[in-house]
Amino acid sequence: MRADRLVATLLFMQIRGRVTAAEVAAELEVSVATARRDLEALSAAGIPVYPQPGRGGGWALVGGARTDLSGLTATEAQALFLMLGPVATTTHATRLALRKLLRALPQPFRTEAEAAAGAIVVDPARWGESDDRPPARVDELQRAVVLRRRIRLDYDRAGQRTLRLVDPWGLVDKDGIWYLVAGTERGRRTFRVDRISSVELTDEMAHRPEEFDLSAAWSEVVEEVERQRSTLSATVLVTASLAPVLREQQGRHCVLDGPADDGRVRARVTAPTPLMIAQQLAGWGAAVEVVEPESVRAELARLGAELVRRYATGG
């Protein structure tokens, strides 16, 4: 994983002080181009890693060779852990590396570094949509999480805008759709970040339960959402070549059950209502056949009739 390499690169530089991309590549058994990109990523993240041009140059860690991370400032430590933290949610080796890094930090920096490492969780499974561009407020919210400061949100839900005072606990990147997990006067709530029009950082310290774990909290959110969204299941048949595409499009709401007798693949698609399943499958045309329940078949037939009336020649 890239995060593992970034940690290893930084520790290698702590020992050597100045290195070349070729030396990093040889040490970590990667290409020179990959080593150079990793060094640039560390520098871009705010770590004091800078290129040294000219004969005998390379990449240097400002402050010279060290055997620990005490040369990092609080801001630099936060930057490193913000960059590596999301990957550590899915990689056991990176979690171990981050713990070693935390132990190497001076005590005053550890609290904020730990907060930065736990500020973001990455959930790659989509909920039927995706966006590669992080919404505008992610950096502000991330800063509030790390600093543990209470924030005021201008939030728009279903066309209704409300001003809310919340304690930011963490951010989740769900396949490009970002969510804020926060504490409110009514308990834990989840806010979709692209519906937040403004963020105001207050001077009040945010309350965050000592036992709070962002990954565990997000798992509970997902479980509840899936329970609400998956109240109805439809059995469908799809051509074998398109089965992976259907699974990718529907995300958690599609389970492939294996081959059917006619060579197609049997799958189960879930949603709260027959209409919602029909709307999700209507665009597939004859490539997908709904076997049951009859309520979904009836909705598909109704949608098809509406389309014929609207778009038939001369209509």
Q: Delimit the domains of the chain by residue range.
A: 2-111, 123-213, 230-311
Confidence of residue 76 (pLDDT cuts 50, 70, 90): low
Architecture in CATH for domain 123-213:
Roll (2.30)
Topology adopted by domain 2-111: Arc Repressor Mutant, subunit A (1.10.10)
Q: What is the CATH number of domain 230-311?
A: 3.30.70
pTM over 0.75: no
Strands 120-123 vs 160-174: parallel, antiparallel or unpaired: parallel
Cα-based distances in Å from 159 to 81, 95, 130, 134: 36, 41, 21, 22
* pLDDT tens digits, 167-225: 998 888 887 788 999 999 989 999 999 899 999 999 999 998 888 888 888 888 888 87
Least confident residue range of 115-129, 233-247, 297-311:
115-129
> 262 falls in which pLDDT band (50, 70, 90)?
very high
Q: What are phi and psi of 275, to 5 degrees?
A: -60, -40
Most confident among 10-19, 73-82, 106-115, 181-190 (mean pLDDT): 181-190
d(CA 125, CA 250): 10
Query: What is residue 271's three-state secondary structure?
Result: strand
Chain segment 25-68, per-residue pLDDT in tens:
888 888 898 888 888 888 876 777 888 776 667 888 765 434 34
Q: Distances in Å between the alpha carbon of 64 and those of 46, 55, 212?
A: 17, 18, 38
Cα–Cα distance measured from residue 85 to residue 7, given in angstroms and rounded to the nearest whole number: 11
**Separation of first and last alpha carbons in the chain:** 57
Q: Go through 18-55 and write b for each residue having 16 or more CB atoms within 10 A of its CB, e for each that does not.
A: ebbbebbbeebebeeeebbebbebbeebbbbbeeeeee
